[in-house]
Amino acid sequence: MSELNKEVLDLVWGRPSSGGVSASIFRRWTQGFVFSENEHTALEQFEGGPCAVIAPVQAFFLKNVLFNRESSNWRQMTEEEQKTELCSTLNEILESACASPTTGFCLVTWAKGQSPHASVHTKSQTESQSQTQDMPAPESSQPPQEQQPNALAAKDLDFERFHSVLHKRTVMSVSELKEEVLSLYHAWRGCCGVLLFLYSVILTKGIENIRNEIQDTMEPLIDPVHGHGSQSLVNLLVTGHAVSNVWDGDRECSGMKLHGIHKQASVGFLTLMESLRYCKVGSFLKSPKFPIWILGSETHLSVFFTKDMCLVGPESPTEQARRVFQSFDPEDNGFIPESLLEDVMKALDLVSEPEYVNLVKSKLDPESLGIILLGPFLLEFFPDQDSGIPDSLPVYHYNGLKQSNHNERVEYVEGTALVLGFEDPMVRTDDTPVKRCLQTKWPYIELLWSTDRSPSLN
């Protein structure tokens, strides 16, 4: 691993001017993939930062549990089932990141005899004692099945020490990858498991491939000041490509090619930043294959999901019309200049003879303001379109941080979503960050949560 250390560290952590990565930021990233005691299919996040890895893994884990598993009770799991599903999820992300089958897959783990061994407490002991860890012990000393591994770093495992005891192994086939990932289950679950997996994804993808996709190669994957993962890191885990943008396809800007998302993702991504007009997420992330979306706030990632596939059904004519209209309204004003109406109608294969376009203009802009509003345009051409989405459907929200959950218990918040048309909705619920984030996909969504307080985006 030593010859790759410098390149990996520069890519992930940057070159901090202070001479090293902050000890507190590194410590926040030293956890493993640990399941909540209160929600068997939910991963727990101890401190801010590693959600950039944990939330995408959680989203893919939910996809596999909800849509690939026979059991009807998706919230109940034995530890053996957790092991199988988590390793299957990590496999899937590694396969997606693999640039070429001929280069194989890289797995980063502890060098022989160097893995930190967590001293395991019973629940009552854990509540009364601070969690501690012993000095690194041989890799073979794995926690017994019935005991929960401690996922906090050994006190003496600082940034330098951690990177000095890593080992890289390469496997050349998918079947071998599955065996190896399964055999490393306790490494993923224990101290630094999140980082071990992140480094595995990066080396499987290839450092040079990541650099070619990132817009600004000086921007590290983990912010050295705040410890948050970059959009490139999130996109790498969600799509297999470390592009820095969330729009569809590539764009030219001042002679420079800016890379975006190139195909429909399995799980989606929505961000509060879009409601604040800092960016616009393209349909490849907004309309994924499965009804699971990672939600981004300024500082955190959580997950919104449902079991109802109707939320990701084929685009209805109304949705297509809205998307096309908005492509001519890049600033998201809700209207276009009337001079663009003919282009919009052509793009939607509507009758676009000049005489008819002028007739429509006079009808949609009776006061001759020179603009065409989105609402009246949709009502004119798609008045009775049914979106195919039921009046209401059960939805769930996941936030891995204990302190962001009711009673500090990491559990899904259940709710009911009403996805209404573009007419004025009859029901108006609260205006929360979660709702504003979802409104970038469903402008007239209303949410009724089963808890007294709405789930937190942070």
- Catalytic residues, which ones? 51, 300
Please name the helix (run of DSSP H) or strand (run of DSSP E) that holds residue 155, with its range, or none: none
Calpha distance 419→416 (Å, rounded)? 10
CB crowding 300-320: b at 16 or more within 10 Å, else e: bbbbbbbbeeebbeeeeebbb
Q: Are 371 and 390 in contact (CB under 8 A)?
A: no
Burial of 331 (0-12, 13-18, 19+ CB in 10 A): exposed
Please name the helix (run of DSSP H) or strand (run of DSSP E) that holds residue 304, with its range, or none: strand 301-305
Partners of 397 in beta bridges: 304, 413
Beta-strand relationship, 256-258 and 133-136: unpaired
Q: What is the DSSP letter of 101?
A: G
What are the distances in angstroms from CA 190 to CA 35, 133, 348, 361, 410?
Answer: 11, 11, 53, 64, 19
Q: How many CA atoms are closer than 13 Å to the CA of 282, on its beta-carbon side?
A: 17
